[in-house]
Structure formats: structure tokens, C-alpha cells
Structure 1
Amino acid sequence: MATQLLLHFPGFDEAQFDSDAENRANAGLTLLQRWTEESGPGHWLLFSVNDLPKAKAWLEKSSALGHGPAASHVLRTA
């Protein structure tokens, strides 16, 4: 069963996202897809998760630093 992480960012800082690439990789996250919202600056990002505890720790740290997503959802294939 594959685990994925879906994140929503109402605003998106491309430079911040790029600078965090190594931290995401160390947390076992691989970007699968990125969508932009048709009517605004929002972004949705879908990651493959290799290590859920590390991914959750990365998510908590990103939120504590003020650049985490507005919403996050852990998904598993059915």
C-alpha cells in the first residue's frame, strides 16, 4: 500500500520551496505532482512518502517555522 501526502498552500513561495528540497528528501518525500489553482495563487502538492514519521516531523517543523501548508492529508492507495 503506497502512502502519499497532499498539501495545500494558499500562497506559494517558489524560492522557499526550492530551498527546502534537501529537507524534504531527507524526510522521505518525493514530489509527484504540483497543481496551481485557476483563480488564485494557491498550490496543491502531492508527495510520495517513504517514511511517514519523518514526513510528519518535517511537516511539523515547516509549520513551526511559518512556511507550512494550510492543510495536509495523508493518503493511502485503496
Structure 2
Amino acid sequence: MQLLCRFDTPDYDEWKKTFDADAEDRMNAGLTLLQLWRDADTPSAALALFEVNDRKRAQAWIEKETGFGHALTADFLKPAL
């Protein structure tokens, strides 16, 4: 299972520093970063694709991040048949 997250931030460079510093927390939530993109139409926004090793822990991480007031949307994905 994978998780696609969109982060809307007013300052991408500051967000990226915080995102990089949060790598261990994401790892503890069972998330492995597969790809990180910047939105071509909204340069301050970023999209991240994660491999999910534990959906319950990943969901808890999402709730924690949004609880801190981070502008985050998240969708769990599974392969289409």
C-alpha cells in the first residue's frame, strides 16, 4: 500500500528543512519515502509518495501532522486491477 500526501506551505524551503528533519519520525510511523515532487503550478506545494508498512501507524502520523496545523491532504492507494 502507498500513501500520497500533498503539503501546502507558504515557504517550500523552510518546509523542506522541517520535512528532512522529520525523517526518523516518518520511519517510526512505518513510512518510506519513494518520491517527492513540487507542484508545477503551485511551487510552494509538495507531493510525497510513501510506501506504507503499517497503515495504523501511518494514519496516526497523518493525524499528528494535521493536529499541528500542517496543511496536509493524504490518500492511501492500492494497485488498480
Measured against aligned partners, the alpha-carbon deviations of 1:31-60 in whole angstroms (never above 9, x if no partner) come to 111111112211111000000000000110
CA shift digits 1:2-26 (9 cap, x unpaired): x000001122401110121111000
2:24 alignment counterpart: 22
2:62 match: 59
Identity of aligned residues (%): 44
Indicate which of 37, 40, 55 corresponds to 1:38.
40
* Structure 2 unaligned blocks of 5 or more: none
Aligned residue-pair number:
75
Q: Residues 24 and 36 of structure 1: is their aligned pair in 2 closer, same or farther, counting only changes over 3 Å?
A: same
Residue equivalent to 1:10: 8
- The 8 Å contact of residues 59 and 68 in structure 1, kept in 2 or not, is answered as no
CA 1:68/1:58 → structure 2, altered by over 3 Å: closer, same or farther?
farther
Shift of 1:67: 2.5
Question: Given that residues 26 and 61 in structure 2 are in contact (C-alpha distance below 8 angstroms), is that contact kept between their aligned partners in structure 1?
Answer: yes
Runs of 4 or more, structure 1, over 6 Å off, are: none
CA RMSD of the aligned region, Å?
A: 1.2
What is the TM-score with the length of structure 2 in the denominator?
A: 0.84
Could you state the TM-score of these two structures normalised by the residue count of structure 1? 0.87
- Aligned mates of 1:68, 1:51 — CA distance in 2: 23
